[in-house]
Each structure stands twice: as C-alpha cells, then as structure tokens.
C-alpha cells in the first residue's frame, strides 16, 4: 500500500509540471525555479522522514502524507476556481506534493528495512519499484484518455480520490512491533567484514611464507575470493550518486518543456508519453535484471540514451518514440538507483538511508534550479551533452 502512495506522489510530480506548462503557461525558467522550491522542501522533508525512519516510525509519516494530499487537492480546486490566487496556489501545489513525495518514499524504505529480513531488502526494493510504476502507468494513461480539461472540470472528485487512497494507506499501515532488523544487519555486516579481513590476512600469509615459490593451486583461489568483496569507498559512491541525480534533474525537469515546445505535443499526448514510459518499466516484472558488477556500463548507456531523441526527431508517432526513450531512461535509472543504494549499504556496513537520500536530492536541487537557465541558453542539446559528461564521470568513480 505504501508503494501505491509513492506512486500517487510521483504522479502528482509530473501532473503538476504538465498542469503548470499547459494550463498556467509556465516557461522553462519558471518551471526550473518552481521545481527548485519543491526540491528544497523535499530535502527538508526527506531529512525529517529519514530521522523518523531511523526510529522505525512509519505511521506518523503516513499521517503527514495524508494531510499533504488533502491540502494539495484543495489547492488544486482553488487554483481552478479563483484565478486571482493562481500564482500563490501553484507554488503551494509544489510545496505540498514534494513533502508528500519525500515522506512517502522514506516511509516505504523504512517499512522494508523493519518488516523484512536484510536478505530480502534488495528484492523488496525492486518489487516496490515495479508496483509503483504499474500504478503510475495506469494513472497517466487514464488521464490521457479522460483529457486534462475533463479532469480539471471535476477536480473535487480527483481530490476525493487522492484522499481516499491516502486514508486507506493510513488505516492499513502499522508500525512494526519489533524494530530489530537494522541492528541485526549491523551485526551481520560486522561479522562479514571480520571474515573478509581474516581471509585477506591468510592470503598475504600464504603468499609470503609458501616454500618453493607461489603455489597458485592454493593461494590464487583465495586471492580471487578476497577480491570479490573489494568495496568502492562511501565517498566515491556518494559523489557518483550526486552526478547521477544532477544529470537526471537536468534532463527530466525540462523534458515536458521540450516535448511541448520543440515537438508540439498536446497535454493528453504528454500524459500518454509518461504512461507508456511507465509501461516500458514493467518489463522488469517479466524479465528481472540486476546490474551488480555492471553499474559503470549502465551509467554510460544511460548517458547516451537522450541522444536518441535528437536522432529520431520528426519520426511519427513522436509521442511513442519519446515514450520509448523516456522509458529506457527511467528503467536504467531505477536499476542504477537500487545498485547504488546496495553498494552504499554494503560499503557503509549498516542501513542508514538519510545521508544517501539527502546527498542525492541536494545534487538534484542544484541542477533543478539550473535546468531552466541551461535549457533557455543552450537548449536540449546542451543538456544532452552535460548528461554524457556527468554519467561518464560517474561510471569512472564506481570502478574498483
């Protein structure tokens, strides 16, 4: 159910941007600034949610998400009925959906950490992503079929639906009675680190004291075993994460602006693009893929993907082409995100999500503010070039 709440918040993220561009007439620069304000509050809410999550507190976060969604629905109605408050209401929309999005994510991660054994964390994170994007795809395609104007004319029902879904999550989600899984993970991780340290010392001892030269039949397999557990440092992982999130902020914040202005897509076509892109992500449900050990290759591939949109410009139907490119970008993003977080927890030796989330979102915040300026000055081509450079540097940081 928490995955459903995350999906609602993610849907409102894109919905608010499309609403701002098509209905309120926001420019690329204004959209970047609005998203920048949302990001700043997102980071603060993420920090609060991270602190609550570290204590295993989930239900209180769900209560706050419920309140934010109620206020969002009310403000959307005010924005549509009272044009005099449109500017203030539009800014406030970004404030409340971003807070709801942050707390929904941290509560979902906290629930996985507390309710499941650490051996299932990675698979549960993948499952959460699949559930979330399935509901997002359904929501976007439904709105594309209904039409933005029809949805705006019945905003009170839309707001009521948001409240019902959030309230259902509030009734279902409970705080776990025993909050010990994080502690067990720290103990288990510490024991594994001691085991690797002993194994490494035995390899060095064997190499230095073996009589008659190196006997590779004994020592070389031990050396291979030890090298499998060589970690990338936490600092390099966080720097790679920062570049990853910064590049995505540049390309994804201005993506609907590019589709609207350069490709002249309607609001319904924009929702179709995002819906089909989410459907593309469901390929993971039928053919799950992990990129452990191949994160650098995935980074480079992700950096080159936006070039396809330039190369295929003018092909019909353009909304399907854009959806495939966006879907591939989001698919690789989801895999890289899970891989980076798994690398981070392994290298750190404990499940502590606050610093990881704050570093990533701070990088996103900075480039979100800059995205409108970059797009206005250099266009989509400049953003694509910056994406290639950032992902190349990020891949190099993750090499052992």
DSSP 95-151: HHHHHHHHHHHHHHHHHHHHHS-GGGHHHHHHHHHHHHHHHHHHHHHHHHHH-HHHH
Closest by Cα among 114, 110, 107, 122 to 343: 122
Cis amide linkage into residue 291, ω under 30° from 0: no
> What pLDDT sits at residue 169?
65
> What pLDDT sits at residue 352?
66
Closest by Cα among 247, 258, 260, 264 to 375: 258
pLDDT digits (tens, 9 = 90+) for 124-142: 677 777 778 788 888 898 8
Calculate the CA dihedral of residues 57, 355, 297, 105 and round it to 10 degrees: 30
What is the arithmetic mean of pLDDT over 154-169?
Answer: 72
> What pLDDT sits at residue 115?
66
CA distance 95 to 261: 26
Out of 57-71, 106-120, 165-179, 180-194, the most confident range is 57-71
CA distance 388 to 44: 30
Task: Output the CA angle 132-10-347, nearest 5 degrees.
Answer: 70
CB atoms within 10 A of CB 320: 14
> What pLDDT sits at residue 231?
67
pLDDT digits (tens, 9 = 90+) for 367-392: 999 999 999 998 888 999 999 999 99
pLDDT digits (tens, 9 = 90+) for 326-356: 999 988 888 888 788 888 877 777 666 668 8
What is the arithmetic mean of pLDDT over 135-159?
Answer: 81
DSSP string spanning 181-210? Answer: HHHHHHHHHHHHHHHHHHHHHHHHHHHHH-
> What pLDDT sits at residue 220?
30
> What pLDDT sits at residue 39?
83
Least confident of 36-50, 168-182, 262-276, 378-392: 168-182
> What pLDDT sits at residue 246?
93
pTM: 0.76
> What pLDDT sits at residue 291?
67
Helices (H), the chain: 2-22, 28-54, 59-81, 86-115, 121-146, 148-153, 155-172, 181-209, 216-227, 234-253, 255-261, 267-281, 283-286, 295-304, 306-311, 318-348, 353-397
pLDDT digits (tens, 9 = 90+) for 309-333: 888 777 768 888 899 999 999 888 8
Percent of the chain with pLDDT over 70: 74
Calculate the CA dihedral of residues 110, 111, 115, 118 and round it to 10 degrees: -40
């Amino acid at each position: 159910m928490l995955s459903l709440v995350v999906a609602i918040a993610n849907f409102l993220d894109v919905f608010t941007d499309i609403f701002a561009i098509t209905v309120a007439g926001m420019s690329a620069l204004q959209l970047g600034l609005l998203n920048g304000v949302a990001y700043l509050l997102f980071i603060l809410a993420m920090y609060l949610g991270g602190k609550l999550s570290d204590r295993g507190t989930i239900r209180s976060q769900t209560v706050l998400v419920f309140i934010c969604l109620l206020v969002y629905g009310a403000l959307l109605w005010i924005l549509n009925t009272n044009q005099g408050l449109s500017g203030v209401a539009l800014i406030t929309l970004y404030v409340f959906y971003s807070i709801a999005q942050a707390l929904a994510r941290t509560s979902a991660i906290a629930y996985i950490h507390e309710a499941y054994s650490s051996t299932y964390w990675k698979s549960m994170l993948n499952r959460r992503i699949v559930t979330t994007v399935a509901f997002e795809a359904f929501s976007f395609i439904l709105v594309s079929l209904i039409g933005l104007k029809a949805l705006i004319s019945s905003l009170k029902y839309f707001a009521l639906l948001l409240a019902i879904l959030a309230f259902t999550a509030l009734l279902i989600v409970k705080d776990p009675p025993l909050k010990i899984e994080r502690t067990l993970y720290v103990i288990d991780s510490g024991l594994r680190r001691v085991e690797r340290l002993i194994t490494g010392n035995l390899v060095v001892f064997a190499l230095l004291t073996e009589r008659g030269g190196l006997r590779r039949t004994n020592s070389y397999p031990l050396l291979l075993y030890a090298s499998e557990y060589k970690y990338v440092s936490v600092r390099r992982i966080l720097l790679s994460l920062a570049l990853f999130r910064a590049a995505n902020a540049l390309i994804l914040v201005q993506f609907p602006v590019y589709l609207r202005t350069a490709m002249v897509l309607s609001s319904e076509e924009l929702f179709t693009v995002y819906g089909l892109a989410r459907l593309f992500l469901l390929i993971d449900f039928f053919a799950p893929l992990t990129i452990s050990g191949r994160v650098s290759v995935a980074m480079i591939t992700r950096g080159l993907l936006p070039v396809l949109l330039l190369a295929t410009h003018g092909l019909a139907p353009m909304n399907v082409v854009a959806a495939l490119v966006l879907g591939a970008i989001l698919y690789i993003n989801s895999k890289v995100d899970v891989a980076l977080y798994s690398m981070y927890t392994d290298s750190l030796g404990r499940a502590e999500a606050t610093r990881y989330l704050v570093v990533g979102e701070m990088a996103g915040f900075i480039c979100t503010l800059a995205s409108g300026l970059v797009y206005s000055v250099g266009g989509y081509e400049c953003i694509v070039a910056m994406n290639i450079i950032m992902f190349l540097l990020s891949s190099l940081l993750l090499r052992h």
